[in-house]
Amino acid sequence: MTTPSLIARIDHFVLTVASIEATCAFYGRALGMETVTFAGGRKALAFGQQKINLHEVGREFEPKAQRPTAGSGDFCLISETPLDTIIAHLRAQRIEIEIGPVDRTGAQGPLRSVYIRDPDGNLVEISNQITAA
């Protein structure tokens, strides 16, 4: 007997960063994310119906990961903006594309992706869903 999926979607995840200010500036400039302030002055990056909560190294909010470390993140973000437009924007912002475009497999099927690094070295995959022709 298999257990049915009990999870519907991701609401947020946490990145531990060296500088919340530098991280907010980067994600705003690179990906158009909005910096939001919530509960006790904490900061997050909002986009779509999700957010990335930010913890600064040494000032993490409890509870936290067992070994929070800046630069240990590796995640994929789906965009409806054409990848060519994203690439042009990243280049205009002088943000280095580490790899891509390349084809990958995502949770919902094929992706075309580019990879960048944020100020802490987290690997950020930005992808378009590839639809069948």
Kindly provide the residue ranges of all beta strands, DSSP E only, lying in the chain, ordered along the sequence.
12-17, 34-38, 42-47, 50-56, 74-78, 99-106, 109-117, 123-129
Is 125 labeled as catalytic in the residue annotation?
Answer: yes
17 vs 55: CA distance, rounded Å: 6
Of all helices (H) and strands (E), which one includes residue 86?
A: helix 83-92
Give the list of residues 6+ apart from residue 117 with CB closer than 8 angstroms, or none: 96, 98, 123, 124
Catalytic residue among 34, 62, 98, 125: 125
Could you give the residue numbers annotated as active site? 125
